[in-house]
């Protein structure tokens, strides 16, 4: 009878635990929010650039006569325009008597302390086609600041309109444009005067007087007022 160790019929098999399957998932919510935070401002910025670079509407669009209160000083329509000979910030001399045969728009404004007045010049330049349609051949702006300061301002604003220096308000007082401002007569207000080819005033609007002291008129409204005034004067 055998007394040996009994053989094991089945050897224990070693088992290796299975690795869990890797599940691929899309980007997490946090990552999506990060991308959104980066991309949305960029898209908005491009949209703003597109809007700012879009061409302006014609000056005639949306204009309404009488939207801004107007006073009419003296000399007014039907009167001879007083002589005016002033130096410009661009280094030239503007002599109104030499403009016979042309229609000139004179813009008397407050000067360096009035940024809306300079915005007005840039607005006129941007919509010059509308003024030409009304027969305007040239625009000149008059203020009492010294020529060196005006020269720098003209350069900073990038405007080409002649800006005339009237340091003692001699010409401005002749046209009484310093009576329509908020500085007690020490500067001009916001006055537009159209001088016809014969030297006669065709239209005048003093916007800068009390109580509103308007120092900027959108080009469409300015053109609407001018058109109405010129048509009335010619009737």
Note whether residue 40 is domain-resident.
no
- Please tell me the total count of domains within the chain: 1
Tally helices (H) and strands (E) across the chain: 6, 7
Indicate whether 31 pLDDT > 70: no
Residue 22 pLDDT exceeds 50: no
Is 35 or 37 the better-scoring residue by pLDDT?
Answer: 37
Cα separation, 129 vs 60, whole angstroms: 10
pLDDT (0 to 100) of residue 213: 96
- Tell me the CA distances in angstroms from 227 to 137, 153, 172, 176, 202, one per residue in order: 15, 30, 24, 23, 11
Tell me, yes or no, whether 126 lies in a domain. Answer: yes
Expressed in percent and rounded to 5, the helix, strand and coil fractions of the chain are 35, 15, 50
What domain range includes position 192?
Answer: 85-234
Residue 44 placed within a domain: no
Please report the pLDDT score of residue 186 as a whole number.
95
Say whether pLDDT at 188 is over 50.
Answer: yes
At 26, is the pLDDT very low, low, confident or very high (cuts 50, 70, 90)? very low
Q: Give the whole-angstrom CA distance, residue 117 versus residue 145.
A: 13
In this predicted structure, what is the pLDDT of residue 49?
29
Structural domain includes residue 175: yes
pLDDT tens digits, residue range 96-122? Answer: 999 999 999 999 999 999 999 999 999
pTM: 0.74
Q: Is residue 28 part of a domain?
A: no
Q: What is the CATH number of the domain that holds 146?
A: 3.40.30.10
């Amino acid at each position: 009878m055998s007394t040996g160790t009994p053989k094991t019929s089945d050897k224990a098999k070693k088992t290796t635990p299975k690795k869990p399957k890797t599940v691929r998932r899309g980007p997490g919510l946090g990552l999506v929010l990060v991308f959104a935070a980066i991309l949305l401002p960029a898209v908005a910025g491009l949209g703003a650039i597109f809007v700012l670079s879009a061409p302006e509407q014609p000056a005639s669009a949306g204009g309404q006569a009488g939207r801004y209160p107007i006073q009419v000083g003296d000399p007014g329509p039907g009167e001879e325009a007083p002589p005016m000979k002033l130096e410009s910030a661009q280094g030239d001399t503007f002599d109104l008597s030499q403009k016979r045969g042309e229609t000139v728009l004179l813009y008397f404004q407050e000067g360096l302390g009035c940024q809306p007045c300079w915005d007005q010049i840039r607005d006129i330049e941007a919509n010059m086609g509308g003024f030409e349609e009304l027969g305007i051949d040239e625009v000149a702006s008059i203020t009492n600041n010294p020529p060196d300061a005006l020269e720098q301002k003209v350069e900073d604003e990038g405007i080409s309109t002649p800006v005339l220096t009237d340091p003692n308000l001699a010409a401005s007082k002749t046209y009484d444009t310093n009576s329509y401002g908020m500085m007690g007569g020490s500067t001009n207000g916001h006055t537009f005067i159209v001088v016809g080819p014969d030297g006669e005033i065709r239209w005048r609007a003093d916007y800068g007087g009390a109580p509103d002291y308007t120092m900027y008129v959108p080009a469409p409204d300015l053109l609407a007022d001018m058109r109405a005034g010129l048509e009335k004067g010619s009737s």
